[in-house]
Amino acid sequence: MKKIRKIAILTSGGDAPGMNSFIRAAARTAIANGIQVVGIEEGYAGLLAGKFRDLSNPTSVSNILTEAGTVLYSARCEEFKDPKYQELAAYICRSNNIDGMIVCGGDGTFMGATKLSALGIPTVAVPGTIDADVTSTDYTIGFDTAMNTVIEMVDNLRATCESHARCNVVEVMGRNAGHIAVRTGIAVGASAVAIPEVPFDEEEAIEKIKTQRLNGKRGIIVIVSEGLPGYAEKLAKKIEEETGITTRFCVLAHVQRGGCPSLEDRLTASEMGAAAVERLIAGKSNVVICKNDGKICDVDIMKALTLDKLYKGKLTEEEIAAIPPEDKAWMDERCAVLKARTEEYYRLANLIR
Ligand code: ADP
Ligand code: F6P
């Protein structure tokens, strides 16, 4: 097993609050183990451009815990999908004596990590995305803070809805997943929540809003996931037409990626950052650090990506048949747990509205 003397860290894809806690924990864990550590600015684009920053001094990651975003910056890099640029990246790593890489991002970032691992650069991935749409892990860095931001923003909307007896339909992020929407929908007391995973009964929701108004409810909030593109605006018009309640619509958008990282994000990001370095020291590569049932573990990235596609219905029959039976059993169980969890939150959102 090759001794790890120098590691590099990068953040990629959409930034997420808590990424700085991850960077700090990874850098400090490396330093504590006598390993030199460099940060790469702007994700894979920065790797190709050689944008390295030495982090071997513990003070280089001081005072970053409380900031959202990522001090290493993030970027999306289309070129990196091209094998020619992946080879170049591996060459740059070797030329800079990098014995291991840690990348933090979503499933796109993990794809990049598998390429680097295959080219002989041991790489460990850490899930950093507000969307929590990485199927192999219960938790992704940024999810908790983003949801807290949503509830803070919607609580503010609630006041004006109440004052003017209006409805406000709010579109929240999450890419193709309704995890943010369904949880914040419960937390803000929404009258309806629409997510991509469960069919939304529009007529039933509108009837409910009518009844609530008849019962004296003034302010009405509806949460819609961005995974239903364009639906929030359409629904706002329909609610106004059918109920006569003045209805506004808003998209919370990138404000959800800001905010002071919550305890949960700081804690999990710190655990994951330390675990990533420890996995590299232990000789592991091509794994993603996960947190399931409250425990840190690691999952082979290819297995994690296959599971993700299985859950999202992106595998052909042949691809599903090619999954080794022991992996398939684990994947089926994981998919069932996640599906049941989302459906239960959806049920609750509609029960206690
Ligand atoms: P996220 O990591 O949040 O899912 P993206 O899907 O935008 O965000 O991916 C982040 C970056 O990961 C991309 O800009 C690209 O550099 C890299 N990446 C994505 N897909 C691949 C791929 N198939 N092969 C290599 N690199 C990839
Ligand atoms: O993946 C995080 C995320 O914020 C999603 O919720 C959203 O769909 C997307 O990124 C927005 O991406 P961009 O930064 O390219 O606008």
* pLDDT for position 1: 76
Ligand 2 proximity of 39 Cβ (cutoff 6 Å): no
* C-alpha of residue 172 to centroid of ligand 2, in Å: 11
Q: 132: which strand partners? A: none
User: Among residues 93, 132, 128, 96, which one has the least CA distance to residue 285?
Assistant: 93
Mutation to probe ligand 1, out of 19, 48, 80 (largest number of atoms < 8 A from CB): 80
Ligand 1 proximity of 127 Cβ (cutoff 6 Å): no
Atom of ligand 2 nearest to the CA of 173: 6
pLDDT tens, position by position, 304-342: 999 999 999 999 999 999 999 999 999 999 999 999 999
* pLDDT for position 42: 98
Domain map (residue ranges) of the chain: 6-142+261-301, 147-258
- CA angle (255, 8, 48) in 5-degree steps: 80
**For residues 290 and 7, what is the distance between their CA atoms, to the nearest angstrom?**
20
User: Among residues 251, 234, 229, 231, which one has the least CA distance to residue 170?
Assistant: 251
Q: Whose CA is nearest to atom 18 of ligand 1?
A: 108
* C-alpha of residue 175 to centroid of ligand 2, in Å: 6
For 123-162, give one letter per residue: b (16+ CB within 10 A) or e: bbbbbbbbbbbbbbbbbbbbbbbbbbbbbebbeebbeebe
Ligand 1 proximity of 14 Cβ (cutoff 6 Å): yes
Ligand 1 proximity of 112 Cβ (cutoff 6 Å): yes
- The residue annotated as part of the active site, out of 15, 99, 107, 131, is 131
Q: Thinking of the domain 147-258, which architecture would CATH place it in?
A: 3-Layer(aba) Sandwich (3.40)
Ligand 2 proximity of 175 Cβ (cutoff 6 Å): yes
Q: Is residue 116 within 8 Å of 93, Cβ to Cβ? A: yes
Q: Is residue 48 within 8 Å of 8, Cβ to Cβ? A: no
Q: What is the pTM of this model?
A: 0.96
Q: 3-class DSSP state for residue 44?
A: helix
Ligand 2 proximity of 147 Cβ (cutoff 6 Å): no
Ligand with the closest atom to the CA of 130: 2
**For residues 96 and 53, what is the distance between their CA atoms, to the nearest angstrom?**
12
Helix 179-187 with 325-351: angle, nearest 10 deg:
30
Atom of ligand 2 nearest to the CA of 174: 6
Mutation to probe ligand 2, out of 15, 42, 109, 130 (largest number of atoms < 8 A from CB): 130
* pLDDT for position 58: 87
**For residues 259 and 279, what is the distance between their CA atoms, to the nearest angstrom?**
30
Q: Do you know the residue count of the chain?
A: 353
User: Among residues 158, 75, 83, 159, which one has the least CA distance to residue 114?
Assistant: 83
* pLDDT for position 171: 98
Give percent above pLDDT 90 in the chain: 98
Kindly tell me the burial class for residue 240, based on how many C-beta atoms sit within 10 Å of its own C-beta (0-12, 13-18, 19 or more): middle
* 60 Cβ contact partners less than 8 Å away, ≥ 6 residues apart: 27, 53, 54
Ligand with the closest atom to the CA of 150: 2
Q: For the chain, which residues score pLDDT lower than 70?
A: none
Q: Do domains 6-142+261-301 and 147-258 have the same CATH topology?
A: yes
CATH class of 6-142+261-301: alpha beta
Q: Whose CA is nearest to atom 15 of ligand 1?
A: 77
Mutation to probe ligand 2, out of 110, 131, 195 (largest number of atoms < 8 A from CB): 131
* pLDDT for position 353: 84
8-state DSSP, 128 = B
Please say if 133 is a catalytic residue: no
Q: 3-class DSSP state for residue 321?
A: helix
